[in-house]
Structure 1
Amino acid sequence: MVDRKDIGSWLEGPGSRSAAPSAYPGERLGMPREGSGSMGRFGRRLVGVVIDWSACQAIAAALFGVPLPFRGVATSTQTLILLAIFALENLLLLGTTGYTLGHRIVGLRVASLDGRTPRPFQALVRTVLLCLFLPAMFWDKDGRGLHDKAAGTVIVRS
């Protein structure tokens, strides 16, 4: 059976098993333990993405007639429209402000590893991988998903 620590070995990169364990998520990246600039935790990130997805569902329902979850089942075309709206929201807002609507509400922002707002290419890579969903399901010891690692970004508290 595959264990989480086995998967973590390739997520962490070479030499991760021999490296000293960090005391808290984000320590290896030079981030504070708590407060502004510390790593965004899973609970906040989950609430943020639920808010984003719900807002995108409302927009898709209003503009394109995509049924809300409690009103019926969307067709595959309607689901693609919803996913396109979600991707557009992420691309535009992350590339300009560094956060989506959901991130802002829960007090998070996406930043480059140098602390700045993500560059357009970083926002693009992160959004494409986030829309694939699977990369967001695997994360390292710092709580960074594969979509954040590939884009060179991190979610921090604002």
Structure 2
Amino acid sequence: MSDRQPRWTQTWMDGPRAAGVNLGYPGERLGLPEQGPGAVAGWGRRIGAVAVDWLLCTWAIAGGLLRFQGNDVGVVGLGVFAAEYVLLVSTIGMTLGMRLFGIRVARLDGGRPHVPGVLVRTLLLCLAVPALIWDRDRRGLHDRASGAVVVNL
């Protein structure tokens, strides 16, 4: 018996691209450019931005300025994170971490997100699991539910 997998399992296990299916680049279905400003942001930038925001909200604000300790830092930090997110994304389209990493949240038509969409997006982001399930356009469930996409500046 050969060490190679049969052809039908190899393409199934390797995904549609290995089977010769061209899915296009992330954001193509949304009418976004492949790269540069307005292109769908990569995962490294998105993870970096949320990590900066989370650390800023939990350690600097909840732990330092507000003097919470122990388990309170996580709960208060999540509240501060949610407040920062809603306030900044609904007004300027990005958080401090997003600005640092050169990305922003936009509606599918390119405009700044509306407050109801930002509220839904923030709630789902705080639950974490919806943000970990994404489509081929790099939109998590929280992005899809709010009608938003994260793009490069």
What range describes the TM-score normalised by the shorter chain of this pair?
0.7 to 0.9
**Equivalent residue for 1:14?**
none
Q: Deviations over 1:95-147 (max 9, x none)?
A: 00000000001000000011000000111000000000110011000110000
Structure 1 stretches of at least 4 aligned residues deviating more than 3 Å after TM superposition: none
- Say yes or no: does 1:137 pair with 2:137: no
Q: 1:63: Cα distance to partner?
A: 2.7
**Residue 95 of structure 2: aligned partner:** 100
Q: CA deviation at 1:64?
A: 2.5
Q: Rg: which structure is higher?
A: 2
Deviation at 1:65, TM superposition (A): 1.8
1:80 shift after superposition: 1.4
Identity across the alignment (%): 47
Amino acid at match of 1:143: R
Q: Report the 3-state secondary structure (helix = DSSP H, G, I; strand = E; otherwise coil) of the residue aligned with 2:82.
A: helix
Matching residue of 1:55? 56
Cα distance in 2 for residues equivalent to 1:119 and 1:22: 30
**Quick one: distance in 2 between partners of 1:31 and 1:157?**
11
CA–CA distance in 1 between the matches of 2:24 and 2:56? 36
- Count matched residues: 133
Query: Residue 22 of structure 1 contacts residue 28 of structure 1 at CA under 8 Å; is this kept in 2?
Result: no
TM-score w.r.t. the length of structure 1 is 0.80
Higher deviation after alignment, 54-63 or 101-110 = 54-63
Structure 1: segments with no counterpart, 5+ residues: 6-19, 68-73
Which residue identity does 1:87 align to in structure 2? A
Q: How do 1:1-158 and structure 2 match up within 5 A?
A: 21-57=22-58, 58-67=60-69, 74-75=70-71, 77-158=72-153
CA distances 1:60-102 after superposition (whole Å, capped 9, x unpaired): 11232234xxxxxx31x43211100000000000000000000
Residue identity in the other structure for 2:68: V
How far apart, in 2, do the equivalents of 1:46 and 1:115 lie? 22
